[in-house]
Amino acid sequence: MVLGTTSGAGKSWLTTALCRWYANQGLKVAPFKAQNMSNNARVVAGQGDDTWGEIGSAQYFQALAARADPDVRMNPLLLKPEADTHSQVVLMGRVSRELSDTPWRERSLKVWPQIAAALDELRADNDVVVIEGAGSPAEINLYDSDIVNMRVARHANAACLLVSDIDRGGAFAHLYGTWALLPEVDRQLIKGFVLNKFRGDASLLAPAPQMLQDLTGIPTVATIPMQWHHGLPEEDGVFDDAPTLGANAPALQFARSHSSGTVRLTVAVVAYPRISNLDEFQPLKNVPGLRLVWARTPADLVGADWVVLPGSKSTVADLAWLRQQGLDAAVCAHASAGGAVLGICGGLQMLGEAIVDPLGVESTHPLGGDAPGLGLLPLVTAFGAHKAVRRTRTRFGDLAGPWAPLSGVAVSGYEIHLGNTAQHPAMAAKGDVAQVVLPSGLGWQGGQGGRGNVLGLYVHGLFEDPAVLQALFGHQAPGLDTVFDGLATAVAQHFAPGWLQQWGPQPLAQGMGVMGGKRV
């Protein structure tokens, strides 16, 4: 289990690296995080009669790193913030209105049985389960209702790593303080300290690691250098303009040599407060000659070739924020000048003429309820009680303008949205309709003067599809396997010799293998 002294210590990417490292030893591996709080979610295999469900994106990528099929057991509880004091609760892949309305301190008793059962099933089905904690395990105000850190560690009798971000300073104090606040039964599960994001000569840390071991009895088993460009999407926040590719990935040199530092296309993604699924834009970071900008003001759109309105966990509230910032006028001006505009999911809903909320889905929030859209597409969206959660494979029809290269391209992605979007009836009666570019109400195109520069889609994951990248940019971003292998190699070489082998099953001997999940 990977625990952290703070949020942002590096738990998620270290868990991902360990999933790939153990998988590379010939073992059957699965990730697990009991509870995640994130608006970045993926559609994965559900349970029972549910074909699809949601889990946090970090566990989705960890499953891919483990070479496992992602499923809802890997993140049984997902909290998706809709406001500062309210989250949508997703249990075993499905939204639970009851739990969403339950005070958060009272949820633990209700959800722990499902969490424990999911973990037990994964342990029974795999050689190794790599568990990720959340925040800090020593938050004394949360300890009694903990369902994601030490309660999970005790249930699994997990060998725990405690990770600290040494780049922030105070790492040894963080490690010692976390250890000191834990009760003795939990201290016994901590098997090693990890110093993460170190810059400099590791020998200069002496004698602090030995002094810490003298105080706690726990060795520092790894000092991991700063991984500036590890290549994984950021889980909890937007990323900057720097290219991000695994430092050990051969494709990094390819991208740099072919871009020659020249920016040929600038893509501005509007970063509203409740942005969701921002991780789907990570592949754009690795396209040579493409600069990705996160826009929060009209000035951030100056010089952009494309403007993207991404998904939102609170569409009407984020649309109101857009107007407060003056970004609504800036986006419309960009479109009027012929600039390309792409709306995905909530962004698509914003592009239309209106959003209506007859059931009050968002009206409980201060800025919720009905709202006029940006008017860039003659569409109207009606929120309903049913949430669409499914994997999607479809094919573009004929497109015009900057999106013409997508014509006829088959695309794989996923849908996570409330609401259905359709042609605006009154506008359609006058002949003002958007061009349907994807079937089943998944995509439309429009723009003043028939330019086709405005595109709205319900399909997430567009830029993760190699065929789309090839069509739009004539280039495919390096695959995730390259990133995962680079992480596993980079991390493992900084652990004490034999430490990782000590806490996992022994690698399969020659002549052995895995069949149907069983060692044979």
DSSP 8-class letter at 502:
H
Q: Which two tokens stand for residue 302?
A: 């100056």
Report whether 434 contacts 475 (CB < 8 A): no
- Decide the pairing of beta strands 29-32 and 128-131: parallel
Report whether 81 contacts 39 (CB < 8 A): yes
Q: Which two tokens stand for residue 126?
A: 């795999």
Tell me the β-bridge partners of 130.
Answer: 31
Confirm whether 460 is a catalytic residue.
Answer: yes
Tokens 């979007």, residue located: 421
Alpha helices in 312-380 (DSSP H): 315-324, 327-336, 346-351
Return d(Cα 382, Cα 421) in angstroms, integer. Answer: 7
**Residue 116 Cα distances to 140, 148, 224, 467, angstroms:** 22, 10, 32, 40
Return d(Cα 263, Cα 290) in angstroms, integer. Answer: 6
Tell me the β-bridge partners of 392.
Answer: 413
Return d(Cα 212, Cα 4) in angstroms, integer. Answer: 17
Secondary structure (3-state) at 100: helix
Report whether 164 contacts 171 (CB < 8 A): yes
Return d(Cα 289, Cα 298) in angstroms, integer. Answer: 23
The HSE-up count of residue 494 (CA atoms within 13 Å, CB side) is 22
Report whether 118 contacts 91 (CB < 8 A): no
Give me the DSSP letters along 425-477. HHHHHTT--PEEEETTTTEEEE-GGG---EEEES-B-GGG-HHHHHHHHS--P
What is the CB neighbour count within 10 angstroms for residue 133? 27
Look up residue 215 and give its amino acid: L
Look up residue 265 and give its amino acid: L
Return d(Cα 64, Cα 71) in angstroms, integer. Answer: 11
Return d(Cα 140, Cα 320) in angstroms, integer. Answer: 37
DSSP 8-class letter at 20:
H
Return d(Cα 214, Cα 175) in angstroms, integer. Answer: 13
End-to-end CA distance of the chain: 27
Residue of 19, 160, 345, 424 marked catalytic:
345
- Decide the pairing of beta strands 340-344 and 306-309: parallel
Tell me which residues are annotated as active site.
345, 460
